[in-house]
Each structure stands twice: as C-alpha cells, then as structure tokens.
Structure 1
Amino acid sequence: MIIIQPSGGLCNRMRVINSGWKLARERKEKLQILWNCNAELNCPFESLFQPVTGFKITSIHSVADPRKLFHQKTAKNYLTNETILAHRNSDGCLDPDYVASLTGKTYIFTWEWFYPSEDYHLFVPTERLQKRIDDITSRFGSSCVGVHIRRTDNQPAIGKSSTDAFIHSMKQELEADPATMFYLATDDMEEEKRLREAFPGRILSNENRCLRRDSVDGMHDALLDLYCLASTRKIIGSFFSSFTDIAADMHHIPKVIAGE
C-alpha cells in the first residue's frame, strides 16, 4: 500500500498525487491520499475537483490526525523531500532500483514530483468551477496567451522574472500577432494594474478574485486561474513556479519563462 501526503500549494499537490497514482498503478498497489487542509491550502479536495476513481482521498485538518499518525507509524518506508532528492536519477525521478527496494507499506510526505506521470486528467473541476472557467475562456478568442506572475513569498520568481521581463515578452507576442489577448493570473494586484496600463484593452483576468490560500474562496480562484492559463495557446510564466509548470503541462502547451 502507498500512502501519499502531498504538501505545499495546489500545483505541488497535483503533481505529487499524479506521481503517486502512476507509482501505485505500476506496482499494482492500493493508493491512499491524505489531503491536509491547512494554511497552505485550506480547502477540501472535493470542493475543488470531482470525485476520482481507483483510489481514496481523505481530508485531514491536523498533522496530529489519528489516521495520519497510524499510517506513519505502521509504514515500513517513510519518504520525505530529502529522501526523494537523495534518490533521484538524472531524469528527476526516483531511481528504479530504489523504488524496487520499497517493499511493504510506503508513506510519502512531499511536495516534490518523484515519478513520471502522463497527464492531469485525474483532476476534473467541480461543475460549478468549470462553469466559471468556461465563462472566462469563452472570451479568449483565437489568440490568447497566458501570463502568470508569481510574487508574495516566491523570492526566486521575484528576482528572476521581473515585471519588465514580462512586459518585454508580451510585446514580442503582440509583434508576432497583433490580435493577441492576455489572460493574467497573479497574486499581486499592483502587477495587474501596471500591465493593464501597459496593455490597455488586452488584459483578461478573474478580477474579483480572493488571494488568500487559507480560504476556500481563495483556492477556488486559484484553480480557476490554473485552468484558464491551461486553456491559452502559450504561457509566459514565472521562474521556479510549479503553477506555471503545471498550467503548461496540463494540455502540453508551450511556455517561456520571463527573464530567461
């Protein structure tokens, strides 16, 4: 049996679950997901996505939850971020020989991608959220580019992917196709204001969004941004951001990192 406790934000958790699902299928083992509702993501899985089949997802609200402690104490193998990083091969995945050595119940607590996964079709937004996504993407037209500007606590993104770098990349897109519109997802309203001034009439966004990750509304809006970005033809994204990476990977669309 494989127990996965994905940590971090929305996209970190999605890639961890995808990795665990693929690993469990290949090993023909049962998979259990422990979804911790906490300050990083305070929203149950079922409030974001439709039910999954093939494995069970259980919401917990504390690291002291008895179910979590039971699985940890009864696991033969316990993998953390450090364990995964220490046993990765050149492809970034867990080394096959190390995986083969993991006999018995395995508990994985991580935000790291650790096993090759094919796509993100496991994750289907709830009907209510999908309706909101469809409403926004219906305004994209034939040439919409996604822009993801990560700020707040992501220092690598702030340092590498400056606002000027985003503006430069967006101007290049307009030069190549003057009909281009931009869907903007950002956690900084001042960034949105600046881009609207730089590209009048070109910016689409979920304008009344909540930016609090410790709230259900905030996570609903984060998921909406993710799926809207994934519906564009290309993404201009932030350095060292899983949100940028997953938005591009979901539908295999091209991405460029502002500032690179």
Structure 2
Amino acid sequence: MIIIQPSGGLCNRMRVINSGWRLARERHDQLKVLWNCNAELNCPFESLFQPVKEFKITSIHSVADPRKLFHQKTARHYLTNDEILAHRNADGILDPAYVATLTGKTYIFTWEWFYPSEDYHLFVPTDRLQARIDAMTAKFGSSCVGVHIRRTDNQPAIGKSSTDAFITSMKKELEADPDTMFYLATDDKQEEAALREVFPDRILSNEDRCLRRDSVDGMHDALLDLYCLASTRKIIGSYFSSFTDIAADMHKIPKVIAGE
C-alpha cells in the first residue's frame, strides 16, 4: 500500500496525488490519500471534487490523527520532502533504482512532485463548482488569455514577476490580437484594480472571491480560478508558482512567466 499525505495548497496537493497514483499503478498497489484540512487548505476533498474510484480519500484534521499516526508508524518506508529531493534525478522525478527499493507499505508526506503524471482527469469539480466554471468561461469569447498574479506570501513570485512585467506581457497579447480578453486570478485585489485601470473592459475575474485558504468558500473560489485559467488559450503566470504550472498542465496550454 502507498499512503500519500499531500501538504501545501490546492495545486501542490493535486500534483502529489497524481504522482502517488502513477506510482501505485506501476506497483499494482493500492493508494490511500490522507487529506489534512488545515490552515493551508481547510476544505474537504469531496467539497471540491467528484468522488474517485482510483484511490481512497480520508479526511483528517490534525497531524495527531490516530489513523495518520497508525499508517506512519507501520510503514516500511517514510518519505518526506528531504528524502524526495535527495533521490530525484535530473528529470525531477524519483530515480527508478531508488523506487525499486520502496517495497511494502510506503508513506509519503510531501508537497513535491515526485513521479511522472499523465494528466489531471482524476480531479473533476463538483457539479455546483462546474456550473460556476461554465458560467464564467462562457464569457471568454474566442481569444482569452489567463493571467495569474501570485502575491501575499510568495516572495520569489513577488520579486520576479512584477506588475510592470505582467502589463508588458499583456500589452504584447493585445498587439498580436486586439480582441484579446484576460481572465485574471490573483490573491491581491489591489493588483486587480491596477490592471483594470490599464486595461479597461478587458479584465474578467471572480470579483466577489474569498481569499482565505482556511475557509471552504476561499478554496471553492481558488478552484474556480484554477479551472478558468486552464480554459484559456494561454497563461501569463507567476514565477515559482504551482498554481500557474498546474493550470497550464491541465490542458497542455502554453504559458509564459512574467519577468522572464
């Protein structure tokens, strides 16, 4: 059995689960996911996504949960971020020779991508959230570019992907196609106000969104942003952001990183 305890935010957890599912398939093994509802993401999996058959989800609300401690203590192998980083190869995935040693019950607690994953078909939004996504994407028209601006606690993104860098990239898109609209996903409403001044009548967004990751409403709005970004033709994203990366990877759409 493989037990995955994905940590971090929504996109970190999605890519960890994808990695674990691929590893479990190759091992012909069962996959169990311990989904910790905490300040980083305080929303149950089933409130975001449709039920899955490929693995079992168990919600926990504490790192001291007895079910979590049981699996951790009875695992033959226990992998953390440090262990994964120490055994990743040049392609960024766990070295096959190391993977071959992970026999028996394996517990993986990480936010790191560690195994090649094919797509994100495992993650289907609930009917209620899909209806909200559909209502928003219906406004996109034929030429909509996604813009993801990460601020708050992501210092690498703030330093590399400045507001001016986003504006420059967005102006280039308009020069190439004057009909371009932008779907903006950001955790900073001041950034949104600034971009609306520069690009009047060009910005679409979930204006009434909740930005609290420790709330169900906040995570519903985050998922809406993710799937709307993934429905654009291209993404202008933030440096060192899994949210940008996963939004582009979901439907294999091109991305550029503002400031690079």
Please report how far the alpha carbon of residue 238 of structure 1 lies from its aligned counterpart in structure 2 after TM superposition: 0.0
Corresponding residue SS for 1:4: strand
1:187-226 alignment, distance < 5 Å: 187-226=187-226
Cα distance in 2 between the residues matched to 1:203 and 1:40: 28
* Residue aligning to 1:181: 181
1:103 aligned residue: 103
Question: Counterpart in 1 of 2:250?
Answer: 250
**How far, CA to CA, are the matches of 1:55 and 1:141 in structure 2?**
37
Q: How many equivalent pairs are there?
A: 260
RMSD: 0.3
Secondary structure at 2:195's aligned position in 1? helix
Show the counterpart of 1:153: 153
Partners of 2:240 and 2:224 in 1: CA distance: 21
Structure 2 counterpart of 1:48, one-letter code:
L
2:138 maps to 138
**1:204 is matched by which residue type in structure 2?**
L
Identity of aligned residues (%): 87
**1-structure distance, mates of 2:160, 2:171:** 18
Query: What's the offset of the Cα at 1:242?
Result: 0.0
Q: Which amino acid aligns with 2:165?
A: A
Matched residue of 2:116: which SS? coil
- Partner letter of residue 198 of structure 1? V
Cα drift, residue 55 of structure 1? 1.2
Structure 1 match to 2:121: 121
Structure 1: any 5+ residue segments left out of the alignment? none
Separation of aligned partners in 2, 1:129 and 1:54: 21
2:34 aligned with 1:34: yes
Q: Residue type of the partner of 2:255?
A: K
Q: TM-score, with normalisation over the residues of structure 1?
A: 1.00
Q: Following the alignment from structure 1 to structure 2, what is the Cα–Cα distance between the partners of residues 10 and 133?
A: 17
Please give the alpha-carbon distance, in whole angstroms, between the structure 1 residues aligned to 2:55 and 2:46: 14
CA distance in 2 between counterparts of 1:54 and 1:10 reads 19
Which residue of the partner structure matches residue 86 of structure 1? 86
Name the aligned partner's letter for residue 155 of structure 2: Q
Deviation, 1:87, is: 0.0
Residue 207 of structure 1 deviates from its aligned partner by: 0.4
